[in-house]
């Protein structure tokens, strides 16, 4: 390790929300070793009249930005090499990018650094988590009502409207919708579909109760980076939904008289719950050695990349594997007690 002695000089402090703070000083000569590279990079990005980009002389670049700016860039280059060794030396399971703060910076003097990073949190499951599913009963779904069938038929009629003419509910109308012998067969299929939808709703409701019961007993400090990630997903989905209705996002914000920051505050609790659930599912999957079926993952990846050819393949795989693994864990929780 290049910086073994230096890693020992940094002090570690555990912070709330599963974060860690690493504080220390770096000898000036260590940072000075990165100065030439930093100066070259800054000079390559400068735009100075009379010189093409990338051709600015180093002495002119130094004069333009100053020595402190060069040292700041050199420090960033150093941290890229040093941070992985520091994390390894402290045996930290970090997630996301660290926050680097330079607290002291002057030519010839040690450079002060404060590095903050999120840690993958420890998740503690309740002792009885395996039996929680058996304690939540599946409510009997209501049967489809005649008025619900009638409402669906009316929606179908309106969807086939031509000008001012709405088709009558006849056997011919039923046949025009698919493989239905007559109107009664169409009604029977609609009634069956509504019933199946209600059954799915009852199962979803039970799943939600099991999740709530489990999360209430799970102990975990959720890193802010996890909550922010879930918030980003919620906001992205909301923007897609708004766009689907043909409304500009900026106009939607005006209609509801809120800023995006206010929306994020309103969704934070939901995001925190989603983050806690994902951490919990990850813990169970790891403990129970639950993995996604790789053949099914490959099939889903093929379909996904056909629709989104520009997507990064590794990110698509991670998403699909996570969704499939989550579903297997949830199905296990819904069983009549895990063996």
- Nearest partner of 155 among 193, 128, 118, 127, judged by Cα: 193
Question: What's the pLDDT tens digit per position in 254-278?
Answer: 999 999 999 999 999 999 999 999 9
Q: Residue 178 has what DSSP assignment?
A: S
pLDDT for res 336? 58
Q: Residue 32 has what DSSP assignment?
A: H
pLDDT for res 313? 93
Structure tokens at 286: 């790891």
Question: What's the pLDDT tens digit per position in 193-240?
Answer: 999 999 999 999 999 999 999 999 999 999 999 999 999 999 999 999
| Whether 182 contacts 232, CB under 8 Å | no
pLDDT for res 253? 94
pLDDT-derived band of residue 50, with 50, 70 and 90 as boundaries? confident
| Whether 217 contacts 277, CB under 8 Å | no
Q: Cα separation of 70 and 82, whole Å?
A: 18
φ, ψ at 56 (rounded to 5°): -75, 130
Structure tokens at 36: 């030439």
Alpha-carbon torsion 244, 247, 252, 256, what sign?
negative
pTM: 0.83
Radius of gyration, CA atoms only, the chain:
30
Going from N- to C-terminal start, the domains of the chain cover 4-119, 122-214
4-119 topology per CATH: Alpha-Beta Plaits (3.30.70)
| Whether 194 contacts 152, CB under 8 Å | yes
Phi-psi region of 84 (alpha: psi -120 to 50; beta: other; left: phi over 0): alpha
| Whether 147 contacts 155, CB under 8 Å | no
pLDDT score of 23 more than 90: yes
pLDDT score of 337 more than 60: no
């Amino acid at each position: 390790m290049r910086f073994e002695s230096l890693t020992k000089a940094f002090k570690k402090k555990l912070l709330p929300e599963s974060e860690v703070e690493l504080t220390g000083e770096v000898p000036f000569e260590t940072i000075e070793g990165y100065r030439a590279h930093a100066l070259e990079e800054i000079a390559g990005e400068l735009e100075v009249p009379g010189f093409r980009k990338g051709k600015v002389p180093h002495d002119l670049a130094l004069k333009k930005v100053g020595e402190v700016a060069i040292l700041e860039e050199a420090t960033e280059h150093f941290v890229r090499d040093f941070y992985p060794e520091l994390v390894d030396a402290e045996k930290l399971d970090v997630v996301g990018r660290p926050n680097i703060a330079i607290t002291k910076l002057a030519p010839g003097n040690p450079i002060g650094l404060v590095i903050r990073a999120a840690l993958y949190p420890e998740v503690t499951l309740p002792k009885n988590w395996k039996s929680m599913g058996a304690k939540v009963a599946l409510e009997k779904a209501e049967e489809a009502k005649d008025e619900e069938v009638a409402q669906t038929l009316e929606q179908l009629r309106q969807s086939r409207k031509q000008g001012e003419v709405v088709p009558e509910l006849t056997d011919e109308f039923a046949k025009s919708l698919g493989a239905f012998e007559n109107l009664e067969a169409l009604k029977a299929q609609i009634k069956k579909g509504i019933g199946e939808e209600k059954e799915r709703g009852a199962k979803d409701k039970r799943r939600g109760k099991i999740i709530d019961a489990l999360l209430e007993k799970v102990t975990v400090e959720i890193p802010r980076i996890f909550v922010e990630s879930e918030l980003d997903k919620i906001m992205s989905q909301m923007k897609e939904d708004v766009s689907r209705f043909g409304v500009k996002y900026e106009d939607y914000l005006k209609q509801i008289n809120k800023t995006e920051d206010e929306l994020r505050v309103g969704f934070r609790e939901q995001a925190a719950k989603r983050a806690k659930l994902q951490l919990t599912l990850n813990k169970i999957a790891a403990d129970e050695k639950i993995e996604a079926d790789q053949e099914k993952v490959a099939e889903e990846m093929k379909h996904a990349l056909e629709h989104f050819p520009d997507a990064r393949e590794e990110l698509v795989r991670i998403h699909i594997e996570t969704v499939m693994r989550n579903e297997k864990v949830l199905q296990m929780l819904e069983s009549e007690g895990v063996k």
